[in-house]
Amino acid sequence: MERIPNKSDGDDLWKERGPGGSTVRYVVTGGAGFIGSHLCEGLFRKGHEVVIVDDLSSGSMERIDAIRDEYPETIFWKGSITDLAFLKDPFCGADGVFHQAAFVSVPGSIDDPLTNHAVNMTGMLNVLIAARDAGVRKVVAASSAAIYGNLPGLPKREDDPVDPLSPYALAKLTGEGYGRLFGDLYGLSTVFLRYFNVYGSRQDPHSDYAAVIPKFIGRLSRGEPPKIFGDGEQTRDFVYVKDVVSANIRAMESGATGVFNIASGKETSVNDLASILSTLSGFSGSPEYAPERPGEVKRSVADISKAKEGFGFLPGYSLEEGLLEMLGPGR
């Protein structure tokens, strides 16, 4: 474990809170990752103190450096959520924890269930224990729509039956169960956000996480057609990363607890997605079609009314608006 110092660090690691607790400090696990780095920036823009915890196994130091360039007061601890003892210092003095760190790969969890268990189950439990022991008020954690599996019935609601089909999905569901227990047994408030297909800048096109959009963009940037598996009529619920950041912050600042879908609430086919991106990229050709991949979910869309009622979540970006911003300058 290691605290990576800032260039302008003072001797005091933890700033004193102002009168009445006016300064709010949040820990973001996975803050060097795709969603986590955007969340850190959103918290800084609201005037909060941010402590980043990341082992850089999938996040990057370049993202930390970019955040520090704009917000030199950033505190970064390099270490793993699988190490409970390590979490003690970063969590000290925190008002809330945003838990974004994860082993984010359904296929990877099937190939390597032990790593999935260590990070997504033991790591989740460690975060809850460390938060409890540090007197943290609330934990807002990333869950996943993967827990719904292939059961029929749309749009997906939080009280629908679940059918986790991978170690990754099972770990996310188990984490939600631990969150409920820590609320009941120890009084730790928890919120679990079931992300659907999150997209935005800094997303790794080589990852297994909602990668269709960056993969399409990569091909189009090379003058190649989008590659679609199957007939392209499979649907997804795409939600822009800035809306996910808003959902996290709203959930933390509210009195809400429990499980909530985070999505756009709109169903988009892969064919329509390819058409939108081709138009925005100035590509006039047709997509390339490949054989359907086995086990692929045919349709996916969320009911987001519970998040709207619970903490006022309402997506601010249409798919076209999010993609346009993602493709624009300064992304």
pLDDT of 131 reads 98
> For residue 261, which of 157, 124, 128 has the smallest C-alpha distance?
157
pLDDT of 9 reads 39
Helix extents (H) in the chain: 34-45, 61-70, 84-91, 106-111, 113-116, 123-134, 167-186, 212-221, 241-253, 270-281, 305-311, 319-327
C-beta of residue 227 within 8 angstroms of C-beta of residue 274:
no
Q: Which domains does the chain have, with CATH numbers?
A: 2-9+23-200+239-264+301-317 (3.40.50.720)
The most distant pair of C-alpha atoms in the chain lies apart, rounded to whole Å, by 62
What is the radius of gyration, based on Cα positions, of the chain? 20
- Residue 29 corresponds to which tokens in the numbers above? 């696990």
pLDDT of 16 reads 35
> For residue 141, which of 177, 185, 89 has the smallest C-alpha distance?
177
Segment 116-164, tens digit of pLDDT? 999 999 999 999 999 999 999 999 999 999 999 989 999 999 999 999 9
Q: Give CA–CA dist 78/248, Å, rounded.
A: 23
168 is catalytic: yes
Per-residue H/E/C for 46-92: CCCEEEEEECCCCCCHHHHHHHHHHCCCCEEEECCCCCHHHHHHHHC
Given the residues 168, 178, 195, 199, the one annotated as active site = 168
pLDDT of 210 reads 46
Q: Give CA–CA dist 132/186, Å, rounded.
A: 7
Q: Give CA–CA dist 56/32, Å, rounded.
A: 7
pLDDT of 331 reads 46
Q: Give CA–CA dist 86/291, Å, rounded.
A: 46
- Residue 312 corresponds to which tokens in the numbers above? 């006022």
Global confidence as pTM: 0.92
Average pLDDT, the chain: 91
Which stretches of the chain drop beneath a pLDDT of 70? 1-22, 207-210, 295, 329-331
